[in-house]
Chains A and B, each alone.
Chain A
Amino acid sequence: MSFIELKDVHKVYSTGRGSVLINALSGVNLTIDEGESVSIMGHSGSGKSTLMNILGCLDRPTSGEYILEGHVVSRLSSDQLADIRNRTIGFVFQSFNLLQRLDAVSNVEMPLIYAGVPARERREAAAKALEMVGLRDRMRHRPSELSGGQQQRVAIARALVGRPRLVLADEPTGNLDSASSREIMEVLRGLNSDGMTVIVVTHEPEVAAYTPRVLKFRDGVCIEDSMTAMGGVIE
């Protein structure tokens, strides 16, 4: 059984006053095994963000089935989806999405609050996660006091603090310079070698080159599924 399985997934949005229908995904079939590292590429409008939302259990497919760890996601209640997002998935966003009024460690521990972890254990786990991304000495800094790369590392610490099996990164380097981008991709590659499944959505080939498997999307369908032999190293 695969870790992630998409069977003929369609997603249709209605815009305007319900008169215009947009096919964001039109029949996606896909399997991803546990421990894989995958890039999803495509131009804007290719459906990659929609796919990301569905993979992240933020959205449900209009038709077709999404099976994650053997659960058919489209049949789960919104509470169950929240649980999956909390325990199984870690998100990394292009715009970091940190809460500005909280310091780094408070941002990182947020998923554990909703998991019901006691305060002290939470602090320890958050400190450890920040250490893993090399920001132990920035625990008490607020996002506004950190550089873009540092903020994204705080966001990664938040994604991995609950030990999820899947990390979803949506354009994680979109707002960063190339040096920071490399740092972030290295951190993500590190998580993958620790056994986490990593899926990165990007439109930059340099970023996609970090993952052995690349999926290319256009007009809501997967047009290419390729493995790079070298496992993605770029100088």
Chain B
Amino acid sequence: MRPADNVRLAMGGLISSPFRSFLTTLGVIIGVSAVIITVSIGTGAKRQTEMQIQRLGSNLITVSSGYRSAYSKINNRILPALEQCGSVRQVTPQINRSGTASYGSNSLNTTAMGTSSNYLDVRNLKMARGVFLSDEDVEASTWNCVLGADLATELFEAEDPLGKRVRFDRVRFTVVGVAASLGDTGFSSVDNVMFIPYTTMQKRLTGNKSISTISVQAVSDKEMDAAYNQVYAALLLETGDERAFRLSSQADVLDFAASITDTMTLLLSGIAAVSLLVGGIGIMNIMLVSVTERIREIGIRKAIGAKERQILAQFIMEAATLSVSGGLLGIAFGFLGSRIVTRVFNWPTAVDTRSVVLGFSLSLAVGVFFGAYPAYKAAGLDPIEGLRHE
């Protein structure tokens, strides 16, 4: 018997009751599309995380105060100590303070960030117009500021912000530059921030030498561990208390985020797989009914010379055709569904070849596995009994 005839035979059996075949595959359709959608959401989230790592730099270590109180041992003294570590390329301090920025009649709640000139390089920030804060700005504690992209458009609307004077609470700053938009980076967007020299921040706004966070950039990804250890040692030496500071690397944070996504994806895929299992049982059920209904057909086929394995192949092929066509439909619906998820919930999704291959092979496996028993029953049928069956 030829393979093509096997397929034709199986199709013939299914097409004779199309609606029933469709209902039977529904479980597989739902299962496969659910797998595709959940995996695509997981993959999308992971890709976004990877993009954030790339954008923010994977060789970043963040130092912050370990105390909950305002009193902090992380201050200007720490900066040169960290810069001297062998595996550290550069460091930049950040001091945040929320307040109201206003220009003309526009005013907005925003955050002022006191930082240094190398913030631009450490955090991969690009300038849209003008220049970023310079070393001179920091040294002389000038009144220059740089606006985040969204803040600039909201304060100035169509006007050119460069050279204009902006108020932050009671203090006036001169705009020297506007940063390029980073877009939506989730938890670390600086599009709404007003950058000022950290020295100005300390002298005029906070009144002390504390620093909320220090970003430390390692020489390379490979030296991250070395840099981490050196920074830890330096901080311990400077503060004399390991509870006085906290260290975290950008990669740690994002790895954690990725591991949460992975766990969620696995969990949801598990639920999807259960519906695939239910779909498989549905197929087995219908195939058993089909074998009972077609006892006479099986008898006729055996009488005219069908071997046991040919009957076995016909019924397994029918079950596999059922579930694979369900799988293909499920892949199509999953593709569509992940688009809808992106459109409606604004979640990034990505259907990759892996999940399509996974969906296809899962449905094939379900068909063969759950079709095997009914097919085995059909193949073992006594032809005389089959022919006698009404």
Query: Hey, which bits of chain A sit against chain B, CB under 8 A?
Result: 53, 56, 58-59, 78-79, 82-83, 85-87, 91, 93, 97-99, 101-102, 110-111, 113-116, 118-119, 158, 162
Max chain B C-beta neighbours (<10 A), residue from A83, A101, A102: A101
Q: Return the contact of A86 from the options B297, B305, B309, B387 (Cβ within 8 A).
A: B305
Contact between B306 and A114 (Cβ–Cβ < 8 Å)?
yes
Q: Return the contact of A114 from the options B1, B296, B299, B383 (Cβ within 8 A).
A: B1
Max chain B C-beta neighbours (<10 A), residue from A82, A91, A102, A116: A82
In Å, the complex CA distance between A93 and B300 comes to 10
Contact between B304 and A158 (Cβ–Cβ < 8 Å)?
yes
| Closest beta carbon of chain A to B303's beta carbon, Å | 5
Chain B residues with a Cβ closer than 8 Å to the other chain, count:
24
Subset of 9 A-B contacts with CB under 8 Å: A83-B307, A85-B304, A91-B304, A93-B387, A110-B301, A114-B304, A116-B1, A116-B2, A158-B304
Q: Return the contact of B303 from the options A85, A87, A99, A116 (Cβ within 8 A).
A: A85
Contact between B304 and A111 (Cβ–Cβ < 8 Å)?
yes
**Whose C-beta in chain B lies nearest to the C-beta of A91?**
B303
The 8 A CB mask of B318-338 against A (1 = contact, 0 = none) is 000000000000000000000
Contact between A59 and B384 (Cβ–Cβ < 8 Å)?
yes
Q: Return the contact of B16 from the options A82, A101, A118 (Cβ within 8 A).
A: A101
Asked whether B159 is an interface residue with its Cβ less than 8 Å from the other chain, the reply is no
Max chain B C-beta neighbours (<10 A), residue from A93, A98, A99, A115: A99
Max chain B C-beta neighbours (<10 A), residue from A53, A114, A115, A158: A114
Max chain A C-beta neighbours (<10 A), residue from B302, B308, B383: B383
**Whose C-beta in chain A lies nearest to the C-beta of B5?**
A113
| Closest beta carbon of chain B to A200's beta carbon, Å | 17
Q: Return the contact of B387 from the options A97, A111, A115 (Cβ within 8 A).
A: A97
Contact between B12 and A101 (Cβ–Cβ < 8 Å)?
yes
In Å, the complex CA distance between A102 and B310 comes to 19
Asked whether B9 is an interface residue with its Cβ less than 8 Å from the other chain, the reply is yes
The 8 A CB mask of B1-42 against A (1 = contact, 0 = none) is 110110001001000100000000000000000000000000
The interface residues of chain A lying within 8 Å CB-to-CB of B303 are 56, 58, 85, 91, 97
Contact between A118 and B304 (Cβ–Cβ < 8 Å)?
no
Assuming A56-B303, A83-B307, A119-B5, what are 6 further A-B pairs, CB within 8 angstroms?
A86-B304, A97-B300, A97-B303, A98-B300, A102-B12, A115-B305
The interface residues of chain B lying within 8 Å CB-to-CB of A116 are 1-2
In Å, the complex CA distance between A73 and B206 comes to 104
In Å, the complex CA distance between A99 and B293 comes to 12
Contact between A114 and B307 (Cβ–Cβ < 8 Å)?
yes
In Å, the complex CA distance between A78 and B383 comes to 11
Max chain B C-beta neighbours (<10 A), residue from A79, A83, A85, A93: A85
The interface residues of chain A lying within 8 Å CB-to-CB of B306 are 82, 86, 114
| Closest beta carbon of chain A to B218's beta carbon, Å | 69
In Å, the complex CA distance between A162 and B387 comes to 20
In Å, the complex CA distance between A59 and B303 comes to 11
**Whose C-beta in chain A lies nearest to the C-beta of B296?**
A97
Contact between A58 and B5 (Cβ–Cβ < 8 Å)?
no
Contact between A82 and B302 (Cβ–Cβ < 8 Å)?
yes
With A101-B12, A102-B12 as contacts: A79 and B307 at CB distance below 8 Å:
yes
The interface residues of chain B lying within 8 Å CB-to-CB of A162 are 305
**Whose C-beta in chain B lies nearest to the C-beta of A115?**
B305
With A111-B305, A113-B1 as contacts: A99 and B297 at CB distance below 8 Å:
yes
| Closest beta carbon of chain A to B58's beta carbon, Å | 60
The interface residues of chain A lying within 8 Å CB-to-CB of B297 are 99
The interface residues of chain B lying within 8 Å CB-to-CB of A119 are 4-5
The interface residues of chain B lying within 8 Å CB-to-CB of A58 are 302-303, 383-384, 387
The interface residues of chain A lying within 8 Å CB-to-CB of B384 are 53, 58-59
The interface residues of chain B lying within 8 Å CB-to-CB of A114 are 1, 301, 304-307, 310
In Å, the complex CA distance between A85 and B1 comes to 15
Q: Which 6 A-B pairs have the closest CB atoms?
A: A86-B305, A82-B307, A111-B304, A85-B305, A101-B16, A114-B305
In Å, the complex CA distance between A160 and B301 comes to 15
**Whose C-beta in chain B lies nearest to the C-beta of A85?**
B305
The 8 A CB mask of B113-142 against A (1 = contact, 0 = none) is 000000000000000000000000000000
Contact between B2 and A83 (Cβ–Cβ < 8 Å)?
no
The interface residues of chain B lying within 8 Å CB-to-CB of A86 are 304-306
Q: Return the contact of A87 from the options B4, B5, B296, B305 (Cβ within 8 A).
A: B305
Contact between B310 and A78 (Cβ–Cβ < 8 Å)?
no
In Å, the complex CA distance between A82 and B299 comes to 12
